[in-house]
């Protein structure tokens, strides 16, 4: 279930911030980190404390380095969005660990327990990825190169309107 988290997080971040300056690659990395726990069961990456700690770490480690901060902020943002897209709050003890007193890695990952719903969500993720590809004009080689190189989108999309649509 990588595409659901990666494409879903990019679509949400775009819908909320509409910023070309966010490093969308880092958002995708943060959103798929939680998948690494699937073989072990539900664990710390499903707990709210981990993205909060990642956010605090990024903010503390990048004082006075604005560009590095802007790039790295995508990781905790993606981690928060993984929890949203995964429905992590539905397991109260795990979500609020260690405050809730729950145990880690005892149960199965939510991705596994959803069964066929996970497959359906992955299909929805593919549809979102296609939408993002079209919406951001990534068929254009220069736009795609900008995204791959820097994680940023063409600024024409922020201005919106006919100018952005005419340049696709």
For the chain, give the secondary structure using H, E and C. CHHHHHHHHHHHHHHHHCCCCCCHHHHHHHHHHHHHHHHHCCCHHHCCHHHHHHHHHHHHHCCCCHHHHHHHCHHHHHHHHHHHHHCHHHCHHHHCCCCCCCCCCCCCCHHHHCCHHHHHHHHHHHHHHHHHHHHCCCCCHHHHHHHHHHCCCCCHHHHCHHHHHHCC
Structural domain range at position 18: 2-166
Overall average pLDDT of the 98-115 stretch: 73
Looking at residue 158, its pLDDT comes to 59
At 24-83, the pLDDT tens digits run 999 999 999 988 887 777 778 888 999 999 999 999 999 999 999 999 999 999 999 999
pTM of the model: 0.85
At 129-140, the pLDDT tens digits run 999 999 999 999
Answer yes or no: is pLDDT of 163 > 50: no
Q: Locate tokens 């066929």: which residue?
A: 116
Looking at residue 133, its pLDDT comes to 94
Answer yes or no: is pLDDT of 144 > 70: yes
Answer yes or no: is pLDDT of 124 > 90: yes
Q: How far apart are CA 48 and CA 69, in angstroms?
A: 21
Looking at residue 44, its pLDDT comes to 82
Give the number of domains in the chain. Answer: 1
């Amino acid at each position: 279930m990588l595409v659901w988290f990666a494409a879903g997080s990019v679509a949400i971040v775009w819908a909320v911030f509409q910023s070309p300056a966010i490093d969308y690659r880092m958002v995708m990395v943060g959103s798929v980190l939680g998948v690494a726990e699937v073989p072990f069961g539900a664990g710390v990456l499903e707990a709210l404390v981990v993205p909060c700690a990642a956010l605090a770490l990024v903010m503390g480690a990048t004082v006075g380095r604005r560009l590095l901060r802007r790039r790295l902020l995508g990781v905790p943002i993606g981690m928060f969005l993984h929890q949203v897209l995964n429905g992590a709050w539905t397991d109260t003890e795990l979500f609020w660990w260690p405050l809730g007193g729950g145990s880690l890695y005892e149960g199965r990952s939510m991705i596994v327990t959803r069964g066929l719903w996970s497959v359906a969500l992955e299909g929805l993720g593919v549809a979102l990825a296609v939408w993002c590809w079209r919406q951001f004009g990534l068929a254009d080689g220069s736009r795609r190169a900008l995204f791959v190189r820097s994680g940023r989108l063409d600024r024409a999309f922020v201005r919106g309107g006919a100018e952005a649509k005419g340049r696709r």
